[in-house]
Structure 1
Amino acid sequence: MTEPEFDLPPKAPPEVVAERDALADKVCRELARTGLPVHRGDLDDSAEKRPGARVHVTPFVDGGVYVNWTTNAELRDTALDLFAQGIDYADPPPVLRHYNSVLQHMRAALSEILASAGFEVTEPDRHGHGSMIQVKGFRP
């Protein structure tokens, strides 16, 4: 078998990943306290398709704790199917505009809710992390 032709980023030390796991658990508890459905996307493969907030821990040195919103499958699949068929970016279909609007508003809401609860929230690189927000820490 040949070696892959790309390098994966180096992994963070176990104690750093453990700190991120603890932070992700705090994020999940806080979002659940607000009444939002929340799932650990890195621990549950089915979380990717379930609606609500998805919290991920990435184990790489430059990784962290990330949160994004997943809509119900009916809206998500309809929008993504249209997108896959090709759209006019200057005039996207209403359902795609609605889907994007929901993601933008939920991203802002998640960010504000977590910041209000004492979490340090930032916007990661959109190219690598799409609509996710990053949680860097907690300020008691």
Structure 2
Amino acid sequence: MFEFKKASETEIAERNDLAARAAEALTMAGFAVHRDVNQVSGAVGALVWVDPADDTRGGVFVQWSISSSLNDTAVESALKGEIQSPAFRHFTFVTEHMYATLTAILESAGFQAGDADDDMSPYLIRVEG
């Protein structure tokens, strides 16, 4: 059976503080920022959240959230093998450039930001203080 181990309350509080500061930096740069990973349906902009896990999966993360219509169209194209379609290329362009942009802005604001090394979410950014 899988056992989920959470970080200490102190560690989670530190992560929440870091996430709040990262969200504020992105808000100051003009981005719409969302903090509740469980309430992102329809939300577009930067998603900033804390994973409370007590291992390498835990930490503070940022990801760009595009419109559901563009996402759905890109998924349909991918399922049909049409990865050269205009919609899929646009989805890829936006995702790659927003990943780079968010990373650069967070670094400019004084954070350590980089690839989260998550195979299931290739454009996920890990933020450290």
The two structures share one fold, judged by TM-score above 0.5: yes
> How far 1:68 moved relative to its partner?
0.4
Equivalent-residue separation in structure 1 for 2:4 and 2:74 (angstroms): 32
The yes-or-no answer on 1:33 pairing with 2:25 is no
Structure 1 residue 52, shift from structure 2 partner: 0.1
Q: Is the 8 A contact 1:39 1:53 kept in 2?
A: yes
Which of the numbers 73, 77, 99 marks the counterpart of 2:68?
Answer: 73
Q: Which residue of 2 aligns with 1:121?
A: 113
Root mean square deviation, CA, Å: 1.6
Matches within 5 A, 1:79-90: 79-83=74-78, 85-88=79-82
Please give the alpha-carbon distance, in whole angstroms, between the structure 2 residues aligned to 1:127 and 1:25: 26
Percent identity of paired positions between Structure 1 and Structure 2: 35
Equivalent residue, structure 2, for 1:64? 59
Partner of 1:102: 94
Shift of 1:82: 2.4
Per-residue CA deviations over 1:31-70 (Å, capped at 9, x if unaligned) read: 111111000033xx33243110001100001210000001
Question: Under a length normalisation based on structure 2, what TM-score does the superposition of the two structures give?
Answer: 0.89
Unmatched 5+ residue regions in structure 1?
Answer: none
Q: Which has the larger radius of gyration?
A: 1
Give TM-score, length-normalised by structure 1.
0.83
Please give the alpha-carbon distance, in whole angstroms, between the structure 2 residues aligned to 1:15 and 1:52: 29
Shift in Å, 1:128: 4.2
Distance 1:60 1:28, change over 3 A: same
Residue 124 (structure 1) shift: 1.4
